[in-house]
Amino acid sequence: MGFKRTLWEATILNHYHNASVADAICVKPVSKQGEKVIFSVAGEGAVKDYTGKVEYTDATTTDVEMIFDKKKYFAIQMDDVEKAQTNLPVLQTATEEHAYALVEQVDKDVLAKAVTEAGKTLNNDTLNQTNVYDQIVDLGTELSKNKAPKANRFVVVNAEILGLLAKDARFTANPVVLANGIVEGQKINGLQVVTSEELPASKIFAMHKSALGYDKILDKVEKLRLESSFGEAVRGLGVYGAKVLKPKGIVALNYTIA
């Protein structure tokens, strides 16, 4: 039968994609070259007065390179790797928690990048159930002032902020959170609400999808026989990175809770 690397990769990545906030809110590269990826950033369009003559403007895009600068590994020990891969429930169980642990670390790094390099940061002394909704409205307004496209806007909050929002009559009292953090059917001033506990402390942010690029590779997934026991193991290396492509497309908020 042999070790089926692609089966292990697919199972881990399926868990990962289902739970990843970064996958949901970030733009993906247009090409990959090993551990370097390329994002294509579109230039601003132009409209001119028509006076009987048409002058054409070149469609401009800028290629932005990113090198994967983060590396995390997983290592799963078991009695028989090949036996585990023939039983889907066992395979799912063996990979699930490791995939979620990778998601947590990647989301933490990606969200921190967004907050740290936001084009603008607002400050609020205290948030409570009476003003949190309006503060998020203000984040959307800042994106509009920066002419961010109306579609594909997000605001990322943690469970504490989501709890305050649930007490506001303009929001739902019973938010349904999908596996990847999307709060189903909930938008504030055009911002799709997303929740994550991997946000930096006392910070939330709003963004347009084109503002933040991110990608990852699951590399070097392999089986090995353990020297210190009679068991076997599967290990793999995840490499990833994030890059702010349009700082004006990200607005952060520093806050404290009343």
Cβ atoms within 10 Å, residue 157: 26
pLDDT at 45: 61
**Predicted TM-score (pTM) above 0.85:** yes
pLDDT at 57: 67
Write down the domain spans for the chain: 5-44+59-254
The low-confidence residues of the chain, meaning pLDDT below 50, are none
**Dist. CA 198–CA 214, nearest whole Å:** 16
Beta bridge mates, 61: 42
pLDDT at 72: 92
pLDDT at 46: 61
**Comparing C-alpha atoms, which of 33, 195, 35, 14 is closest to residue 107?**
195
**Dist. CA 27–CA 16, nearest whole Å:** 17
**CATH number attached to the domain at 5-44+59-254:** 3.90.1690.10
**Dist. CA 135–CA 119, nearest whole Å:** 17
Helices (H) and strands (E) in the chain, counts: 6, 12
pLDDT digits (tens, 9 = 90+) for 227-250: 777 788 889 999 999 999 999 999
**Dist. CA 183–CA 17, nearest whole Å:** 16
pLDDT at 44: 65
